[in-house]
Chain A
Amino acid sequence: MKITQIAGFLGCGKTTLLLRLSKKLSDGGKRKVALIVNEIGEIPVDGKIIEESGLRVKDIGGGCICCEIASTFAKTIYNLYKDFHPEHILVEPTGVAVPHQVKLAARMSGRDAKISIGPAVVLFDATRPAELLDMDMLGQLVTSQVKDADVLAISKVDIVSEDQVQEAIERVRQYNPTAEIIQLSSFKEWGVDRIIEIILDWKE
């Protein structure tokens, strides 16, 4: 059971990508895929939206799975392993979660469930690089997310210019020189197949 997180700051398009990935990854039901969605605002709006698309999803509300409710996250993974036996779990952490802490929290479930940790796919919003990186405290958070990425997906590339895409790539490259960078548009399905390939091929 491979656990892959789709991380990135609020509003960067995680839920939209999750919808695309889960449908493609399940490949018409050939693979069992479960989703875990976490929100900190106490109202799990994203989970409801995904459910209405006909997918099975576990909502975790009331806190952040990378810290406040890490044990709840681990228990949710274990329960999915026990009851549903998915081959893949796609996790959408809150937009303020730190990917390496999400990985640590997921590993807690490895005491009781046979798991492997997939890549941390971190989305970076091409429409607002300066807004995200140049703020004092917020910039530190977004920088941490970028540094933790195994795959960096520059999102919403269909609605910005090529220069803006390059600016976003240059900005994130400064913080993470090794992650594969993908230009992503979930609406146009650009980059989605490459992310699927990476998830399927990923070895810890």
Chain B
Amino acid sequence: MADQQDQEKGCYTEHGVSGYGVAVKLTRPEAMNDQAIKKMAEAMMLAIAQKCMDRGARTIGHIKSHIRTEAGTLKADTIGLPHGAYSSGSLEYPVKDLYLAVNSIISGIVENEVKGATLEGIHEVAEGQGFTVAKEKEHAYFDQFDFTTSKQEYVRQLEEMLKE
């Protein structure tokens, strides 16, 4: 089929909107249950939102997260501090390792500022809950999973995604 030359910059940049996405592995010595992880994820979303506003953002488009673990999937998001954060999902049992993807779309600050706020928010909140950021990868895709596989294989796939 015929191709078309894509533009270099997205239309959204004209409107002062910037996006940044990152995938990280968080690990801690003690397992954490789903309620505590959801609470942490909500706090993380709000921390990133606050840091974006502190850097001069005009408004939060959205900040979304997707947390995969060997025991299930959780998610959390916010559309801004006045709106609070929302989380959902459940885990079969408490876990020590989390594979977290965060996507921040913000109006009024450049991508590098969105990146700074996103990474600071992740580190600050996760480390405050005893997690270490074991791996970090920009523009990674938690993609192409086989959900029917064993838990060991599922974790191997997640680890593979975070390899450099």
Q: Which of A40, A44, A140 has the most CB of B within 10 A?
A: A40
Is A48 close to B, CB under 8 A?
Answer: yes
Are A140 and B15 closer than 8 Å at their CB atoms?
A: yes
Interface bracket on B:
35 or more
> B128-140 toward A: CB 8 Å interface, digit per residue (1/0)?
0000000000111
**B13 CB, min distance to chain A CBs, angstroms:** 9
Is A17 close to B, CB under 8 A?
Answer: no
Is A138 close to B, CB under 8 A?
Answer: yes
**B113 CB, min distance to chain A CBs, angstroms:** 14
Is A74 close to B, CB under 8 A?
Answer: yes
> B1-44 toward A: CB 8 Å interface, digit per residue (1/0)?
11111111111101111011111000000000000000000000
Which residue of the partner chain, among A64, A71, A72, A131, contacts B12 with CB atoms under 8 Å?
A: A64
Q: Which residue of B lies closest to A40 (CB)?
A: B19
Is A185 close to B, CB under 8 A?
Answer: no
**B97 CB, min distance to chain A CBs, angstroms:** 18
Is A95 close to B, CB under 8 A?
Answer: yes
Contacts of A109 in B (CB 8 A): 1
Is A66 close to B, CB under 8 A?
Answer: yes
Are B61 and A11 closer than 8 Å at their CB atoms?
A: yes
Which residue of the partner chain, among B5, B6, B15, B139, contacts A43 with CB atoms under 8 Å?
A: B139
**B85 CB, min distance to chain A CBs, angstroms:** 12
Is A98 close to B, CB under 8 A?
Answer: yes
With contacts A111-B1, A135-B59, A138-B59 taken as known, whether A63 is within 8 angstroms of B10 at the C-beta atoms is yes
Tell me the complex Cα distance, A75–B58, Å.
35
Q: Which of A67, A101, A135 has the most CB of B within 10 A?
A: A67
Are A94 and B101 closer than 8 Å at their CB atoms?
A: no
Given A10-B62, A39-B19, A45-B102, 19 further pairs, Cβ under 8 A: A41-B21, A43-B21, A43-B22, A43-B23, A43-B66, A43-B102, A43-B103, A43-B142, A44-B103, A49-B66, A67-B11, A68-B7, A68-B11, A96-B10, A96-B11, A96-B61, A108-B2, A125-B79, A140-B15
A-B contacts, 7 listed (Cβ < 8 Å): A40-B10, A42-B21, A59-B143, A66-B11, A67-B11, A75-B1, A78-B1
